[in-house]
Amino acid sequence: MDGFDHDADGSESPPRHALSRPFPSQGTHRLPQQTPKSDFCCQRDRFLHSEDIHEILIIDAQKTTVNSNMPYIVYVIKAGDAEARHRYSEFESLRDNLVKLYPTLIIPPIPSKQSISDYAVKQGKAKEDAGMISRRKRMLQTFLNRLARHSVLSNEHVFHRFLDGEVSWHEVLTSPPLSILPKSTLKAPSHNPVDPNASPAYAALPNPSSAHPLRNPDQRFLDSEAFTHKFANHISGPMEKVTRRVHKRWSDYGQDHADLGAALNGSSLHESGPLSAAIERTGQAVDVTYMSTTKLLQELEQNWAEPLHEYSQFASIIKKLLAYRHQKHVQFEMTQDTLDNKREQLDELDKSEREARRLEEALGRGRGAVTSLSPSPSLEQETTTRDDSDEAEPTTAAAATTENLSQPDSPVSSTVLPPHPGPSPVKSRTRAPGMGFLNALSYTLHGMMDVDPETARRNSISKTRETISQLEEALDLSAQDLKYSCSAIQSDLDRFQRQKVADFREMCISMAKSHRDWCKKNLEAWEEVKKEIETIPDHPNKMLSDVNPDSTATVNGNGR
């Protein structure tokens, strides 16, 4: 098949689907399931997985002020018999949360936000620009249909609730699973970041940078990164630049023909007879060229420029997806390095513990030898008796001296002893200000230094063993996540490649059809002009040699 729609009689007819834009193409639909789905979670799920292929349509864009002081645009979504209304920020919120729920999948893009220059030029009218709103309608519709045709995302109940007009988006955001999303998807299971039974060991995983180098990179994904980089540079560089230039030149061409058609139609009013009719018909053909060029521009924008820009967004999305896988790989290597370091640290602590035990055993044997050389109890008792008798003699002498001093007629009492000066004064101790705090700090520091090194070492060994156990579990989880991420990302990259081939085929066919239709309309218009020009009589001064049946061959296009 050539990609064009044909009637039973062989003539071409417009495409059968209701959309003016053929994206996403039928080739991007989910692969046929081996067994039809039977366990539907809701009516939207049943609609999305019915045997017939249904399109999600955005049928209108309306201005409203519901729950807001400022007017905004809501897009009316038609999915089967359900009708939902959402503003642009809610589409953006849906996509952001799907990225967190499915970190290993390529989540389709939505149209870009208005640039600052657009707001500066149009000021308050940027949100009301008809062209921008029409473009957003088409691209948001494409976004929803890409989700609906994805084999995994089409089963997500958050997406079903977005299409259901009976549920407010705020209610969806404040209920599981969106309300329990982790802060970092790197510290959550890759297959299900909101898994309530996820191991606490995920908290021990590092949070590496996407620029961190790998020791053992995967060549498959290095090739994917290089291809994505080249694809992004080519799409967002030469292709989009040339497309914008072509669009501008076609636009100028159409506008020039609009001015030319008006001038020719005005000129026909100053003539009469066949000449006036011929000039008027020529002006009408030029008008047809203007109108067909305007239509060609619209089709090129919708079926070529917009999907081309969408694929430049896809390239950025794939870069982020590959960066996530890179971080998961770095996470695995960093966890492995940390575990190896902790094991080395534990070996050093165990070595210190063994040396301390050997030293303690040696000291114990030394204490036993010293005890065997100590004196006998009888010798100690004799030494004690002798010391007591020696202490008794000074005591007797002191008592005698005291007795002599107490006698009044003793000469020593009046000449030797001076009068008693009274109780000795107590010296006051001065303390510098702040010494209380310093003493308390010194006491605390001494307490810290007095910690038993043996107890500290054994506590460190115990904590290191616990850390190693946790890191071993974290390493096992990281290995499982890395394996799943590689498999899931590669699978979605393969699906994306099939989608890209199908979409670019549709883009090329659409461009060919647009140019064919443009040529057909202009050919018909100029054939009419030719017939009108042929009614003008020949010039009276025309040479007889030129007035022959063959002279019309040049007009008919069959000149020799």
From the first residue on, what is the mean pLDDT of each consecutive set of 10 residues in the chain (560 residues)? 46 42 53 68 92 88 89 94 95 97 97 64 59 93 96 96 93 95 94 94 92 94 95 93 96 96 94 92 96 96 96 96 97 96 93 86 77 56 52 46 44 43 48 56 55 79 93 96 97 96 96 97 95 86 56 48
Distance between CA atoms of 273 and 279, rounded to whole angstroms? 10
The DSSP symbol for 152 reads: T
The torsion angle over the Cα atoms of residues 293, 299, 300 and 301, rounded to 10 degrees, is 110
Contacts of 74 (CB under 8 A, 6+ apart): 61, 62, 63, 64, 66, 85, 86, 87
Give the dihedral sign, CA 140/141/146/148.
positive
The 82-87 sheet, strands edge to edge? 57-64, 72-79, 82-87
Residues forming beta bridges with residue 77, ordered by sequence position: 58, 84
Here the tokens at position 19 are 């959309």
Instruction: Identify how many contiguous H helices and E strands the chain contains and give both numbers.
Output: 15, 3
For the chain, the farthest-separated pair of C-alpha atoms sits apart, in whole angstroms, at 188
Q: Are strands 57-64 and 72-79 parallel, antiparallel or unpaired?
A: antiparallel
The answer to whether 345 and 338 have CB atoms below 8 angstroms apart is no
Here the tokens at position 558 are 């069959």
Here the tokens at position 400 are 């005698």
The answer to whether 115 and 336 have CB atoms below 8 angstroms apart is no
Here the tokens at position 372 are 């065997």
For 285, how many CA atoms within 13 A lie in the half-sphere containing its CB? 20
Distance between CA atoms of 151 and 34, rounded to whole angstroms? 12
The DSSP symbol for 12 reads: B
Distance between CA atoms of 3 and 516, rounded to whole angstroms? 13
The torsion angle over the Cα atoms of residues 276, 278, 282 and 285, rounded to 10 degrees, is 120
Here the tokens at position 416 are 């030797």
Distance between alpha carbon 474 and the CA centroid of its chain, in Å?
A: 23
User: Domains in the chain and their CATH numbers?
Assistant: 41-117+125-181 (3.30.1520.10), 184-362+454-537 (1.20.1270.60)
User: Minimal CA–CA distance to 85: which of 146, 137, 18, 162?
Assistant: 162
The answer to whether 518 and 250 have CB atoms below 8 angstroms apart is no
The answer to whether 324 and 184 have CB atoms below 8 angstroms apart is no
The answer to whether 97 and 158 have CB atoms below 8 angstroms apart is yes
Amino acid at 252: D
Amino acid at 316: S
User: Minimal CA–CA distance to 503: which of 142, 258, 78, 109?
Assistant: 142
> What pLDDT does residue 454 have?
77
DSSP string, 452-496: -HHHHHHHHHHHHHHHHHHHHHHHHHHHHHHHHHHHHHHHHHHHH
Distance between CA atoms of 314 and 337, rounded to whole angstroms? 35
Amino acid at 427: K
pTM recorded for the entire structure: 0.75
Amino acid at 476: D
